[in-house]
Chains A and B, each alone.
Chain A
């Protein structure tokens, strides 16, 4: 009964019609706390000035988590403390794959973190097989009857992860939650969701895994950091996964608030392709006149001649049509498409690239992570633009050489000036490769 409220925090209006309001287990707390000039939203912990959020009918509302249904100070948040009411399971893991030695070391770290209920960071390079390293620890936890969630800031990542977890844990009840989801909420032992959805949970999970912590919009977002803390049980375990930890996470590691294990080699044992920078002076002016920098033009024609497939990243969506037109000018026969975040055919276009129907994609940061094409080079025009964070630049470089058969793709960034973010990205890859070279698994190309 009232399963939809186990470990959740909802207002009365958000409850399903089957809800039984007389349940003695229900705990209610005010949706907003009021003090002096300020009110604080209890769901997203945003501190708000009263004058800005007052409603004419009385009370206050929170504009910051409005997308999840408006909360006002007149409402209460209802919750039923998580009872872990799951049927016991014996065979949790239905995954038959195997791990490399390095992966196994990390998987054991993960397993012990889950048992000891600690906070941990798993830093594994792009293409190291992070998801598989979770299976062992998660299977263990599910057997214990723990409630488990995997959250990511990106919807695409969630949608991609869900079927993989479903295959690995066929006997476990599982639900996928995100903003575009039409399916209603179900109480399940295993939840895959976006980090925004965590705002609807209250002390629910024994184990919470946050994938791609460095990705927008999670990085530097206090609201979502709070959502993670509030969704975990006070004695729960939290595991952050990333290929590019930001300074805040690394600080937490040095302050020993977080333990860390890292995997500096890809599953095929090769190093990450290192970033090469080339000058592209006044490329924006050139683009305005309908041309690309000559060096980039040469690089593209050479790859087309050799039938080497590649991705070309540009900083802004608005530049895509201009770049496409410029390419058509010097390579009229090239088959390519442009992809951006609001593109209705995004999924189809990426699939066309994967099936080798097109030679290359021109895209923005939207394809920086989560996509794998076997044998490609990566070109970035204007890598010194402010839209590219250090994490984004490392992730983009990580698209190359993901295949065991072709582990050394080229990564070339065209820039007008060097920036701190770019230098940090180059440094990060060098550091990881340095660590990788010390391992016995390192394979020379």
Chain B
């Protein structure tokens, strides 16, 4: 019997008649109902239309208004799937910093559904620096897209972005001010420029905090002249 990836509680799985008789692959749960309920889904009708932050109304939030005042920034629309609650924080800690790669499975399905709903041609995961990749052993955003890579031909997952400047410090350890004064860390891989031209592009990241990362990624992709450019993050 499988056990919940988060609380190690046993997960009893009873097959329904429909599952037995259908030819479809049986998908096993990765976490238990209690753990599932601990995450808070963001309802699109109650979120900032620009950055996907959870709020009471559908007006553009203060954060985004500040972005609009800044020069040379693109207006990129982002959708957040879950609120960045303490549960999500613990999950991210265990997944990214303790390096528990199994936890990627928890949200792969939710991410797949959201990407399908966005109806794009190309999905670009936000990259991590080489040192982080080497130390952590994986890119947390790319791993969450694994189901799309495995099962589908459309949309295509495309690692078109690379990190140039090496971060001296992890972003999650910096305050808002430090994060906002960073310089562009991403470049586009020249091999992909032609392939991406005229496509609908979705940038995928694990967490949206200030929006700095997503805006840098969007700026780096400006040269490919995409027909549309949107963002999707697991947590907001």
Contact = CB atoms under 8 A, between A and B. Distances in A.
Contacts of A53: 101
A58 B134 CA distance: 9
A59 interface: yes
Interface string B21-46: 00000000000000000000000000
A63 interface: yes
Interface string B135-147: 0111100110000
Contacts of B142: 56
Nearest to B97: A70
Q: Is the interface of A mostly helix, strand, loop or mixed?
A: loop
Contact of B102 (A57, A63, A69, A72): A63
A295 interface: no
A241 B174 CA distance: 49
A313 B36 CA distance: 29
Interface in B140-177: 142-143
Contacts of A70: 98-100
B138 to A, nearest CB: 5
Given A56-B142, A56-B143, A66 B99 contact: yes
B137 A66 contact: no
A289 B34 CA distance: 24
Contacts of A61: 99, 101, 137
B87 to A, nearest CB: 14
B137 A55 contact: yes
B192 interface: no
A53 B102 CA distance: 8
Given A56-B137, A57-B134, A66 B100 contact: yes
A207 B61 CA distance: 63
A70 B99 CA distance: 7
A55 B98 contact: no
A66 B5 CA distance: 12
A72 B98 contact: no
A53 B143 CA distance: 13
A55 B138 contact: yes
A56 B100 contact: no
Contact of B133 (A57, A59, A69, A72): A57
Interface of B: 98-102, 133-134, 136-139, 142-143
Interface of A: 53, 55-59, 61, 63, 66, 69-70, 72
8 contacts: A55-B137, A56-B142, A57-B133, A66-B99, A69-B98, A70-B98, A70-B99, A70-B100
Given A57-B136, A57-B137, 4 more contacts: A57-B134, A61-B99, A63-B101, A66-B98
